Amino acid sequence: MTENSLSSASITRNLKTRFVGQRVIYYPSLTSTMEAARQETLQGATEGTVIIADEQTAGRGRLKRVWLSPRGNIALSVILRPRMTHLHSLVMLASLAVVHSIEAITGLKPQIKWPNDVLIGGKKVCGILIESHVQRKKVDYAIIGIGVNVNLRPGDFPDISPIATSLSREMGREVPRLTLIQNLLVEIERLYLALSAGESLFQEWRDRLVTLGRKILIESGDTVQQGIAESVAEDGSLLLRLPDGTLVRILAGDVTLRDQ
């Protein structure tokens, strides 16, 4: 089996984790790993279960956007059962795990665009989606969905070519998916256990944000605002300084960097 062929056994073999990725459900093709993960939670899936697909035909990004995931990339979802107090930190955990893994495997220097897009050279290389179900102030489950453009050729997809890149494009060669996936699962578990032990991921996540200090346009629902991304709060919200000097807190939205 090559480094770019996947199976449940190849991912779990020699995987140095306690629980994340110790159960892997692999699909050659799947509409959405998030949907499959949600179904697994209804059947009592153990924490750390990973759903992964070689090809995702109806993947979703944030704000109900389509996430393109043809063969050669990474599309996976991880089921976790965090404490309520850690729920807001999962976006930090996921984006940092991706950044650390890309750095370790490729030597590239990715950055995070608030809240959780991973960029290389100003272009998107990874999208992250967090879903959770909460009842009576307790988290039933949380699902981290991660899509990484690994061996994608952006030029084959004109709609995304101006804004997207891939690891292979940046490296000038194919990147080993299996090694990257295993590294990513190890990082997810390491950061998750750090959270559980009381550590904070906020400072590193904040320091990795390419958004801060930049002029941005942010779309949130039907609202569009422009201003300077001044700071972020510990709950992950963005503090935006409007042209009239007002400081507003943004909980979610789609950011466009205006001064690139």
The 10s digit of each residue's pLDDT in 192-228 is: 999 999 999 999 999 999 999 999 999 988 889 999 9
List Cβ neighbours of 207 (8 Å cut-off, separation of 6 or more): none
User: What are the start and end residues of each CATH 3.30.930.10 domain in the chain?
Assistant: 8-206
User: What are the start and end residues of each CATH 2.30.30.100 domain in the chain?
Assistant: 212-257
Q: Check residue 28 and give its pLDDT.
A: 94
Average of per-residue pLDDT values in the chain? 92
Q: Is the pLDDT of residue 71 over 70?
A: yes
Residue ranges in the chain assigned as alpha helix (H): 8-12, 33-42, 90-106, 167-171, 177-196, 202-208
Lowest mean pLDDT: which of 2-16, 22-36, 100-114, 141-155? 2-16
**N- to C-terminal Cα separation, the chain:** 42
Cβ contact 98:146 at 8 Å: yes
Among 173, 183, 185, 93, which Cα is nearest to 130's?
93
CATH code: domain 8-206 is 3.30.930.10
User: Global pTM?
Assistant: 0.93
Selecting from 1.10.3720.10, 1.10.357.10, 2.60.40.10, 2.30.30.100, what CATH number does the domain 212-257 have? 2.30.30.100
